[in-house]
């Protein structure tokens, strides 16, 4: 008989991890159709209870608002499900006939999922779905203040999974939660991978367990309004993102940066949207309430509406106030409201120009939020790419709320509730986490060159330096060879050393796309006479020329046995050029 709560929690962690291990061995034998049938049933069951789970989360944690939590629950049950459904995660997932390699998906086994109190049920639905899609079992460890709603969500999904053919023990949830129990779960020998969402302490613990772990870092998201932006929409997007679920998502906006020439417009739009601009005394009072002495978000105000926070600070604001705005002169410990706040409170900065704005964004991110997210509002295509290049974040949301765009609600990013911050943020990945992070790939590789042929290759003895006449002859031969291969255009060749990179082209040579900027290291075709794109008169009429071509475009064209129309200024990535070489894929149209 175990009487101590921490010991009971540790024993439960071991028991559930063992059950999950047994289930994972059965799931590993599932076909793609079988596992897809399970995730379909689980997603449908979670979606049906989205409203109930949202209200339970608010009632138990007191964070956020139910209507927004419904949307987050459905992001997981609908958007995540819609994205992962077509993915191949069982059996042969890829074949490369040219290299004679077959790739086979292998589940990782048991996933330990650590869940937060700020987004409890939506994160539970999301983590269960991406885990099951990889044919893995899962054990959920809820935040103590969100235990009931998370366990209820897990119970709904577990019953649906078993009814659809999954073994008992596929989805498990700890009901006796403690720090000791969570640590025991992460260290358990049956656990293969850890998915940790929560404070920096739990993420550090996950990384110290000696096994693969996906953790996420904090966000301190700057929202920069550049002078070319459409101001009304930019301000509306920022307020929409900041007030969504009262700012509990780590990718919600934390600061507004704007250029001096648009000051009056920005301030007018903020007041129109019921923002309260605080004076120095109010900023000091709110800072003491919102930020702890250790520069963390005060749990007592996390996910609370702006009027509530103002009242706690002794400030009177209209009851319909949307956000509290704090004009600040700097970033750092002297300015507490320059950190992540997880509530509808925003810092506000005025800068003289674009460069000053970018430098300020970098300071804010470095103060807390390296690698996470930034919002940039602009119609200047060149500056969009330049900003993405300069600021150390891995999600640059353009002309959309950062909160919604980062998780894939309003952008084409992978829909996810766990957002990696890369090495600069102390994370193993910069991706939005998906089922592809929870499978391993076997590679079956056949011989493409006999070992005996390698032994016959001898290193030639050093030759004497060629004469000037021989050098000239060699240059002629190389020129003739390049002409035959149709690569005499000024396209930079791939470096011979795999570790090196070709020099990037100047920013002015790029044609930039606001919502999906191309890789800055791309090949630009400035020569309209370039012979890499020969027109074949026997081919059917070509479609309209593309402005940008990537490797996947070429791969799809090869599979469909089609050509790609381009013009003299088309941007083509080096990998696309390599894949298309000598295949007559491109057709140049003037």
CA atoms within 13 A on the CB side of 196: 30
Q: Across the chain, which distance is largest between two alpha carbons, in Å?
A: 94
Check if the beta carbon of residue 237 is closer than 8 Å to that of residue 377: yes
Q: How far apart are CA 408 and CA 410, in angstroms?
A: 6
Q: How far apart are CA 297 and CA 301, in angstroms?
A: 8
| 3-state class (DSSP) for residue 561 | coil
Q: Specify which residues 587 forms β-bridges with.
A: 565
Q: What is the residue whose two structure tokens read 């990998």?
A: 575
Query: Crossing angle, helix 120-133 and helix 32-48, to 10 degrees?
Result: 170
Q: How far apart are CA 75 and CA 355, in angstroms?
A: 36
Q: Is 250 a catalytic residue?
A: yes
Smallest Cα–Cα separation from 217: which of 34, 38, 425? 425
Q: What share of the chain is helix, strand, coil (3-state, %, to 5)?
A: 45, 15, 40
Q: Specify which residues 335 forms β-bridges with.
A: 332
Check if the beta carbon of residue 260 is closer than 8 Å to that of residue 267: no
Catalytic residue among 149, 173, 250, 361: 250
Check if the beta carbon of residue 236 is closer than 8 Å to that of residue 404: no
| 3-state class (DSSP) for residue 226 | coil
Q: Which residues contact 62 (CB under 8 A, 6 or more apart)?
A: 303, 304
Catalytic residue set: 250
């Amino acid at each position: 008989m175990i009487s101590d709560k921490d010991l009971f929690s540790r024993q439960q962690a071991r028991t559930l991890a063992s059950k999950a291990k047994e289930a994972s061995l059965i799931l590993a034998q599932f076909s793609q159709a079988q596992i897809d049938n399970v995730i379909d049933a689980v997603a449908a069951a979670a979606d049906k209870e989205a409203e109930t789970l949202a209200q339970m989360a608010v009632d138990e944690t007191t964070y956020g608002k139910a209507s927004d939590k419904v949307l987050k629950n459905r992001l997981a049950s609908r958007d995540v499900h819609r994205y992962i459904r077509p993915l191949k995660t069982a059996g042969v997932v890829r074949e490369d006939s040219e290299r004679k390699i077959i790739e086979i998906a292998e589940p990782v086994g048991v996933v330990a999922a650590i869940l937060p109190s700020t987004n409890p049920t939506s994160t539970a639905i999301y983590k269960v779905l991406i885990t099951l899609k990889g044919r893995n079992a899962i054990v959920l460890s809820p935040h103590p203040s969100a235990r009931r709603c998370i366990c209820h969500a897990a119970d709904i999904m577990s019953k649906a999974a078993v009814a659809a053919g999954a073994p008992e023990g596929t989805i498990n949830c700890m009901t006796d939660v403690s720090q000791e129990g969570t640590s025991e779960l992460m260290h358990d020998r049956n656990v293969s991978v850890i998915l940790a969402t929560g404070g920096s302490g739990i993420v550090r613990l996950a990384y110290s367990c000696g096994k693969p772990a996906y953790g996420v870092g904090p966000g301190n998201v700057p929202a920069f309004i550049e002078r070319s932006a459409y101001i009304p929409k930019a301000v509306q997007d920022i307020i929409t993102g900041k007030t969504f679920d009262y700012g509990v998502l780590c990718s919600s906006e934390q600061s507004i940066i704007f250029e001096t020439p648009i000051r009056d417009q920005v301030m007018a739009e903020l007041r129109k949207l019921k923002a309260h601009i605080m004076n120095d005394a109010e900023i000091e009072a709110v800072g003491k309430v919102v930020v702890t002495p250790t520069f963390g978000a005060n749990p007592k105000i996390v996910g609370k509406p702006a009027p509530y926070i103002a009242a706690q600070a002794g400030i009177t604001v209209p009851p319909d106030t949307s956000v509290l705005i704090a004009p600040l002169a700097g970033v750092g410990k002297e300015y507490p409201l320059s950190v992540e706040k997880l509530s509808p409170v925003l810092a506000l900065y005025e800068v003289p120009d674009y460069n000053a704005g970018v430098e300020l964004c970098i300071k804010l991110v470095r103060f807390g939020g390296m690698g996470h997210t930034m919002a940039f509002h602009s119609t200047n295509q060149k500056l969009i790419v330049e900003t993405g290049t300069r600021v150390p974040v891995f999600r640059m949301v353009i002309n959309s709320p950062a909160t919604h765009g980062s998780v894939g609600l309003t952008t084409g990013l992978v829909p996810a509730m766990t957002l990696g911050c890369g090495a600069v943020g102390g994370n193993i990945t910069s991706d939005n986490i998906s089922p592809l992070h929870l499978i391993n790939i076997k590679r079956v590789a056949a011989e493409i060159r006999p070992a005996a042929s390698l032994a016959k290759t001898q290193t030639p003895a050093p030759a004497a330096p060629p004469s000037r006449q021989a050098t000239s002859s060699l240059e002629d031969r190389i020129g003739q060879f390049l002409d035959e291969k149709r690569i005499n255009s000024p396209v930079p060749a791939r470096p011979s050393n795999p570790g090196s990179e070709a020099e990037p082209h100047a920013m002015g040579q790029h044609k930039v796309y606001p919502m999906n900027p191309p890789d800055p290291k791309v090949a630009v075709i400035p020569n309209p006479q370039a012979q890499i794109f020969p027109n074949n008169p026997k081919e059917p009429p070509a479609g309209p020329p593309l402005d940008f071509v990537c490797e996947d475009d070429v791969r799809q064209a090869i599979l469909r046995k089609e050509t790609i129309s381009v013009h003299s200024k088309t941007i083509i990535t080096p990998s696309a050029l390599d894949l298309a070489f000598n295949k007559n894929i491109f057709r140049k149209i003037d």
